[in-house]
C-alpha cells in the first residue's frame, strides 16, 4: 500500500486546496461583514474556522518539509520572503487605499496619520489596530482586515518547528513533533474542560497549533502512514463526528490534516494545474476581508448574501493576482540570497523539493 512517502511533490493540488479554503473564508465572513448575522456554524466549526484549520494543517506539512531540507538561516529568510512582503503591502493598501475610500463614502473619518499609525501598530504581524482610526462607521463590522490575525500564530508555529529541528536535530525530530502534537492537544483539552482562563495569545495558540503539528506529524511519519481513499473516508467520518458532537475541535486535527493532504495527492489533474505557476491563495486570503468590507459599505449586501458573496470573490481575485505578480512572486527571487554564502554553497543548503509556495 502506498504511503505518504510517495506524496507527489511536483504534481499535487495543494495550492488549489488553499485557494478553495481562502474562498471558504470569504463565504464564512460574508455573514458578519454583510450584516446577515454570525458565521454559519456547526459545533465548534464555522466554514472559516474549518478553512483556517486546513491552512494550518497544510502549512505543518509544507513548513516541516522546508525546514528539514534547509538550514535555519535559509529557512527563516525564505519564510520571511514568502509571507512578509505580501503582508506589508496589504497593510499599506488598507491604510492608504481602502480606509480613505471607506471614510469618503460613509460618515467615517480618516487622516494620513491614522494610516501611518495602523501600519506601524501592525508591523510585527500581531494586529493591534483594526479600524484605521475612525474610518469605519459605527454600523460597520469594526475591522478592515480581520483575516490577518491568524498569520501571527502561523508564524509562531514556523518558529516552533524551526528551532525544534535546531535543538534536537533532524534524526530525533520525529519523536518531538509527535510529542508536541500530543502535548498541545492535551493542554487544549485540559484547559477547556477545567475552564482555565489563559492569556488570549496562549489560548489562541493552543487552539490552532495542533492543526499545524498534525500536518507536521504526517510529514515526519510519512513513510509509515498509508495514503489511501479508505483512510480518507475514515478521516471524513471522524471529522463529522467531532463537528456533530460538539467536542473540542482540536480532536479533528489529524483527520482534517489527513483528508486535506490526501486530497492534495488525489484530486484530478485539472486541480493540479490551478495555482501551479501562479499561487493566488495567499493574496485571496489577505485581501478578501477589506474587499468585503468596502462592498458592504457600498450597500452590496442589500442584494442578498448570494450576490454579495459572489461579488466579493470576483472582486478579490484580481487583487490577489496583482499581489502575486507584483509583490509575492518578485519576492521569491530574494529567497536565494542565502545560497550565495559559502556555508550554503558548501552543502548546507538543500533545495526544496516541492513546487508549492509554502
Q: List, for residues 51-98, the tens digit of each pLDDT value.
A: 999 999 999 999 999 999 999 999 999 999 999 999 999 999 999 999
Q: What digits encode the pLDDT tens for the residues 292-325?
A: 999 999 999 999 999 999 999 999 999 999 999 9
15 within 8 A of 264, measured Cβ to Cβ:
no
Sign of torsion, CA 243 14 11 352? Answer: negative
Contacts of residue 133, Cβ cutoff 8 Å, sequence gap at least 6? 99, 109, 110, 111, 113, 114, 117, 118
Locate the DSSP E strands across 40-169.
Answer: 41-42, 45-46
Residue 346: predicted pLDDT? 45
- According to the model, what pLDDT value does residue 335 have? 77
The pLDDT score that the predictor gives to residue 246 is: 86
Q: Hey, which residues does 45 pair with through a beta bridge?
A: 42
What is the Cα–Cα distance from 16 to 33, expressed in whole angstroms? 25
State if pTM tops 0.75.
Answer: yes
Low-confidence ranges of the chain (pLDDT < 50): 344-355
Give the length of the chain: 358
* Contact (CB, 8 A) for 125 and 155: yes
Q: What is the spatial distance between Cα 162 and Cα 67, in angstroms, rounded to a whole number?
A: 6
CB 288 within 8 A of CB 21: no
Q: Which residues of 30-39 are buried (b: 16+ CB within 10 A; e: fewer)?
A: bbbbbeeeeb
Amino acid at each position: 500500500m502506498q504511503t505518504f512517502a510517495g506524496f507527489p511533490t511536483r504534481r499535487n493540488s495543494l495550492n488549489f486546496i488553499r485557494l478553495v479554503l481562502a474562498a471558504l473564508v470569504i463565504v464564512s465572513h460574508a455573514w458578519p461583514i454583510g450584516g446577515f448575522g454570525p458565521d454559519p456554524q456547526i459545533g465548534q466549526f464555522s466554514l472559516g474556522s474549518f478553512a483556517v484549520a486546513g491552512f494550518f494543517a497544510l502549512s505543518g506539512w509544507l513548513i516541516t518539509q522546508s525546514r528539514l531540507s534547509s538550514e535555519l538561516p535559509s529557512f527563516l529568510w525564505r519564510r520571511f520572503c514568502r509571507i512578509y512582503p505580501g503582508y506589508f503591502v496589504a497593510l499599506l493598501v488598507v491604510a492608504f487605499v481602502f480606509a480613505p475610500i471607506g471614510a469618503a463614502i460613509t460618515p467615517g473619518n480618516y487622516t494620513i496619520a491614522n494610516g501611518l499609525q495602523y501600519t506601524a501598530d501592525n508591523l510585527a504581524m500581531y494586529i493591534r489596530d483594526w479600524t484605521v482610526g475612525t474610518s469605519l462607521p459605527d454600523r460597520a463590522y469594526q475591522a478592515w482586515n480581520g483575516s490577518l490575525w491568524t498569520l501571527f500564530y502561523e508564524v509562531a508555529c514556523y518558529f516552533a518547528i524551526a528551532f525544534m529541528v535546531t535543538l534536537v536535530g533532524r534524526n530525533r525530530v520525529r519523536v518531538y513533533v509527535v510529542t508536541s502534537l500530543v502535548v498541545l492537544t492535551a493542554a487544549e483539552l485540559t484547559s477547556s474542560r477545567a475552564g482555565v482562563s489563559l492569556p488570549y495569545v496562549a489560548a489562541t495558540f493552543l487552539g490552532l497549533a495542533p492543526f499545524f503539528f498534525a500536518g507536521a506529524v504526517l510529514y515526519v511519519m510519512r513513510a509509515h502512514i498509508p495514503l489511501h481513499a479508505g483512510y480518507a473516508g475514515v478521516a471524513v467520518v471522524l471529522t463529522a463526528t467531532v463537528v456533530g458532537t460538539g467536542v473540542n475541535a482540536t480532536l479533528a486535527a489529524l483527520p482534517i490534516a489527513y483528508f486535506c493532504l490526501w486530497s492534495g495527492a488525489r484530486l484530478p489533474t485539472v486541480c493540479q494545474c490551478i495555482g501551479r505557476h501562479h499561487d493566488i491563495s495567499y493574496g485571496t486570503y489577505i485581501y478578501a476581508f477589506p474587499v468585503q468590507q468596502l462592498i458592504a459599505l457600498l450597500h452590496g449586501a442589500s442584494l442578498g448574501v448570494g450576490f454579495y458573496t459572489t461579488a466579493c470573490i470576483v472582486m478579490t481575485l484580481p487583487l490577489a493576482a496583482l499581489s502575486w505578480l507584483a509583490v509575492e512572486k518578485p519576492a521569491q527571487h530574494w529567497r536565494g540570497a542565502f545560497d550565495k554564502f559559502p556555508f550554503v554553497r558548501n552543502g548546507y543548503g538543500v533545495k526544496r523539493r516541492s513546487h508549492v509556495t509554502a
